[in-house]
A and B are shown apart, each in its own frame.
Chain A
C-alpha cells in the first residue's frame, strides 16, 4: 500500500516510492539520501507533532510535515 509519509505512524517502516518535488527542497531531500528505493522507519515526532524524525540508512533525519508531504512511501 502506498501512503504519504505524513500519514505514517511511529515505528512504522516502509520503502520510499517517489519524491515529487523539484528545486531547493527536492535537492535537499535527495542529498540526505531520501530517494526512491530507500528504506525508512519513523522514529518519532517533536512534542508538537511536527517535525518528524526518520531512520534512514542507519542515521536519523528530520523534516517538517509540509516537506514530508512530497514523499510517498510503500508500506505493508
Chain B
C-alpha cells in the first residue's frame, strides 16, 4: 500500500490549495467516522517514476487541544492512523504564529516536514526566512513553496517521501515549561511510563502535559483506563495549578502556551527571520479593509455583495433549472404516452420522475450557490461579513457567519432552504451552526411564494406589496426569535469564542472554486438522491392508495356515459378522434369540459379516500382549532413534499383537477366563493405555511448536516407544533374579535 502523507496546518495557510495541486482530480471527499468534519483524500503520483503517495487533507487547526472537533479529528488521525509523514504547511509571512502548531507536532513526536508556503508573499512584505537555518534548529526538513503556482512541490514531496521511506522515529521535542512545571512534569512522566498508563497510544511526557493542560479527551480516556492513577495525576496537576495561581496569577495551560511561544521566539531570533519593514505596517489588503469594513460604506457594500450573490444564484441558475424541468416534463409526458394506463404508469410518472426531477431540479441552484459562496470564502470577504454582522446575530445566540445561510434560504423572498442549510458549513461554531440550520427553513423560499401569491391575490389583492413585505419581516423575526429560544433551551451553552483571523484578501483560483463547487454538489446528489427517491414514492402511495372502490368508479363512469349519450354520436366521435391541441367544434368543446369536470370530481373523491385524505379527515378534529378543514390538511400534507404542492393539492381537493401553481385563477375564484374561507383564514394559512415542517428535501439536508436524524425529526415536529400554536392563536383571537371576516 502507498505510504500515507497527512497535510496539516493553520486555516488560510494554503493547505487546500496545496492538496488540490498535489492530487488534481484524483481526490474524493468523505466524513471522518461519526462526525461531520469533511475528510479529503487523494493520490499523488510522482512524474518521473510513478511513485504513489496516499494524501489526506486534515482539517485546518491552530492548535492540538481537544476543544474543537477539527482538533480532535486531527489528533485522533495522527494517533490511530499513524501516517508515515505529516506535511505541516506554514504561512511564511506569518511564521511565528504558524509554528505554534508545528511545535505541538514535534512535542507529540510526529514525523513532520515543513512546507514554508507563500514565500513569495513574505518576500513582498520584506520578510526573509532562512529555511536551512530553521530546518537545522527544528531538526526537520523545511521546503519553501508557493502552492498556488506549484512551486517547490517536487522538492517538498521528495523530502516527504524520504521520511516515509526511512520510517524514521522522531524523539519528541522537550521544551522547558519553567521552574514550576518542569519538575512535576518529569515526575508525572516517570510514573506514567512505569505504569504503562495509556502508553500504547501516546508518549508518556505528552500524556503528562495533557493532564497539566486539563485536556478533556485524554483525561476521560485516562479515567476509563485506570481511575485511581488518573485521579492521582489530576491531583498533581491541581497542586501546580494552585501554586501558579497564588504566586504568578496564571494557569498551567497558559504557562505552557507562553513557554511554547517563548521557544519559537528564541528559534526565530537566531537569524531565521529578517524583517525589512515594521511588522505591523499596512499592506494593500489592509487598505482594502479600510473601505470594505468602514463604519458607513462597509455595510452598504456588504448589502450590495449579498444582493449580488443572491441575484447570481437565483437568476443565472434559472436557465439550467428550466432545462431540467422541461427535460423531466418531456420524459414524464413521453412515458405517459408509451406506458399502459394504470398503477405502474402512475408510479413511474407521478412518483419516480417527479421525485427524481425534484431532487435534480435543485442541482443547478446548489452549484451556483456554492460557487458564489466559494468566491466570497476563498477571497476572504466572508470573514469580514461575519466581523461586521456578529454584533447583531450574537444577540440571538447566532454567529456573524449565519447571515449567508439566512439570505440564501429566502431572507430575500424567493431563496431555497436546501442550499441554505448546506451554506451553514462555513460556520465553525457547533452550537451557533445547529441553531442556524434549524431556523433557516422559516425563511420564505421560492416554493412558498405561490401559496402566498394565491392567498394574497384572492383576499388582499389591493395590498399585495405591503403584505409580501410583512411576510418577509415576519419570517426574519420568527427565525431569529426561535434561534434565541433554541439557544436558551435545547442548544444551550456559552457562545463559541469569536476569536478568529481576518485572512488577507486573495484572488481565488478557478481550479479551487471548481473543485469546491463540484464536490459539494456531488455529495448532495449522491446522498440526498437515494433517500428522496424513496420518500417521494411513499408520498405518492399515500395520495393514491387505497383507490376508490369499484362501485364509486362505476358511478363516475356512468356519469360520463350519460354526458356522452346526451350529445349526437358525431360529436362524441369527433372528440375521441381529435388530436391533442386540435381545434374542436363548439359542442365538442362543451362535452370535453363537462367530462373534465367529472374527472376532477373523481380525482377529488379519490384523494379524500386515500390514506392522505383519511389523515386529513382525521386531523380535522384538531385542525379545526386553526380553522383548517380536511382539504387544507391534505394540501399541507402534500406541502411536505414541496411547499408549492399545497396549491396543486388544494386544487385537486376542491375538485378542480390539477392546478398549475403559476395559473391559479379558477382556484382563487373557488376560494373566494367558498363560505368556509375568509381573509382571516388566509392569514392563518400564510402563517402556518411559513413556519410548519420544512419540506422533506430540507429535512434530509438538516439531518445530514447536523449529523443526526434526531435533528431532522426535531425540525419537523417542533416547527409544525410552533406553526399550529401560532395559527390557533391568530384564528381564535381573530374569530372572537370578528376581524377580517368576509
- Chain A residues in contact with chain B, CB under 8 A? 13, 18-20, 22, 24-39, 41, 43-44, 46-51, 53, 55-64, 67
A38: B residues at CB distance < 8 A: 261
B597: A residues at CB distance < 8 A: none
Complex: how many Å from CA A13 to CA B391? 24
Query: B497 contacts A35, CB within 8 Å?
Result: no
B94: A residues at CB distance < 8 A: 57-59
Query: A28 contacts B96, CB within 8 Å?
Result: no
A28: B residues at CB distance < 8 A: 67, 497, 499
A22: B residues at CB distance < 8 A: 251, 253-254
Whether B77 sits at the interface, judged by CB under 8 Å, is no
Complex: how many Å from CA A44 to CA B251? 30
Query: B391 contacts A61, CB within 8 Å?
Result: no
A47: B residues at CB distance < 8 A: 293, 295-296, 298-299, 388
B698: A residues at CB distance < 8 A: none
A-B contact pairs, 29 of them (CB 8 A): A18-B249, A24-B67, A27-B65, A28-B497, A30-B253, A31-B257, A32-B62, A32-B499, A33-B100, A37-B258, A41-B280, A43-B286, A44-B293, A46-B293, A46-B387, A46-B390, A46-B391, A47-B298, A51-B390, A51-B498, A53-B289, A53-B387, A55-B280, A58-B93, A58-B280, A59-B501, A60-B286, A61-B500, A62-B500
Query: B502 contacts A60, CB within 8 Å?
Result: yes
B295: A residues at CB distance < 8 A: 47
Whether B689 sits at the interface, judged by CB under 8 Å, is no
Q: How far is the CB of A70 from chain B (nearest CB, A)?
A: 11
Whether B238 sits at the interface, judged by CB under 8 Å, is no
Question: What 6 A-B pairs are tightest by C-beta distance, nearest first?
Answer: A48-B391, A31-B63, A30-B257, A60-B502, A33-B97, A31-B62
Complex: how many Å from CA A32 to CA B499? 8
Whether A62 contacts B67 in the complex (CB less than 8 A), given A13-B280, A47-B298, A50-B390, comes out as no
Whether B345 sits at the interface, judged by CB under 8 Å, is no
Whether B224 sits at the interface, judged by CB under 8 Å, is no
Complex: how many Å from CA A37 to CA B296? 34
Residue in B257, B296, B390, B392 whose beta carbon sits within 8 Å of that of A35 in the complex: B257
Nearest chain B residue, comparing its CB with the CB of A58: B279
Query: A51 contacts B391, CB within 8 Å?
Result: yes
Query: B498 contacts A26, CB within 8 Å?
Result: no
Complex: how many Å from CA A41 to CA B279? 11
Query: A67 contacts B258, CB within 8 Å?
Result: no
Query: B391 contacts A20, CB within 8 Å?
Result: no
Complex: how many Å from CA A61 to CA B502? 6
Nearest chain A residue, comparing its CB with the CB of B259: A35
B249: A residues at CB distance < 8 A: 18, 20
Complex: how many Å from CA A57 to CA B289? 18
Whether B527 sits at the interface, judged by CB under 8 Å, is no
Query: A63 contacts B498, CB within 8 Å?
Result: yes
Question: Known pairs A30-B257, A33-B261, A47-B299. 20 more at Cβ < 8 A?
Answer: A18-B250, A19-B254, A20-B249, A22-B251, A29-B497, A31-B65, A33-B97, A36-B258, A37-B258, A38-B261, A39-B280, A44-B289, A46-B293, A58-B280, A59-B94, A60-B502, A62-B500, A63-B499, A64-B497, A67-B499
Whether B125 sits at the interface, judged by CB under 8 Å, is yes
Q: How far is the CB of B263 from chain A (nearest CB, A)?
A: 12
Query: A46 contacts B388, CB within 8 Å?
Result: yes
Q: How far is the CB of B41 from chain A (nearest CB, A)?
A: 26
Q: Mark B230-256, 1 if CB is under 8 A from A, else 0.
A: 000000000000000000011101100
Query: A61 contacts B279, CB within 8 Å?
Result: no
B97: A residues at CB distance < 8 A: 32-33, 56-57, 59
A32: B residues at CB distance < 8 A: 62, 97, 499-501
B494: A residues at CB distance < 8 A: 24
Query: A33 contacts B96, CB within 8 Å?
Result: yes
Complex: how many Å from CA A38 to CA B280? 12
Complex: how many Å from CA A28 to CA B63? 9
B62: A residues at CB distance < 8 A: 31-32
B100: A residues at CB distance < 8 A: 31, 33
Query: A62 contacts B499, CB within 8 Å?
Result: yes
Whether A51 contacts B387 in the complex (CB less than 8 A), given A20-B249, A26-B254, A58-B280, comes out as yes
A19: B residues at CB distance < 8 A: 254
Nearest chain A residue, comparing its CB with the CB of B93: A58
Nearest chain B residue, comparing its CB with the CB of A64: B498
Query: B251 contacts A62, CB within 8 Å?
Result: no
Whether B394 sits at the interface, judged by CB under 8 Å, is yes
Complex: how many Å from CA A52 to CA B119? 29
Most central of B249, B261, B298 by chain A CB within 10 Å: B261
Complex: how many Å from CA A31 to CA B497? 12
Nearest chain B residue, comparing its CB with the CB of A47: B295
Complex: how many Å from CA A31 to CA B641? 46
B499: A residues at CB distance < 8 A: 25, 28-29, 32, 34, 61-63, 67
Query: B293 contacts A35, CB within 8 Å?
Result: no
Q: How far is the CB of A57 from chain B (nearest CB, A)?
A: 5
Whether A30 contacts B501 in the complex (CB less than 8 A), given A47-B299, A51-B390, comes out as no
A56: B residues at CB distance < 8 A: 97
Q: How far is the CB of A76 from chain B (nearest CB, A)?
A: 15
Complex: how many Å from CA A25 to CA B476? 30
B296: A residues at CB distance < 8 A: 47
Q: How far is the CB of A63 from chain B (nearest CB, A)?
A: 5
Most central of B249, B388, B394, B497 by chain A CB within 10 Å: B497
Q: How far is the CB of A26 from chain B (nearest CB, A)?
A: 6
Q: How far is the CB of A23 from chain B (nearest CB, A)?
A: 9
Nearest chain B residue, comparing its CB with the CB of A27: B65
Query: B125 contacts A58, CB within 8 Å?
Result: yes
8 A Cβ contacts from B90-146 to A: 93-94, 96-97, 100, 125, 127
Complex: how many Å from CA A12 to CA B193? 50
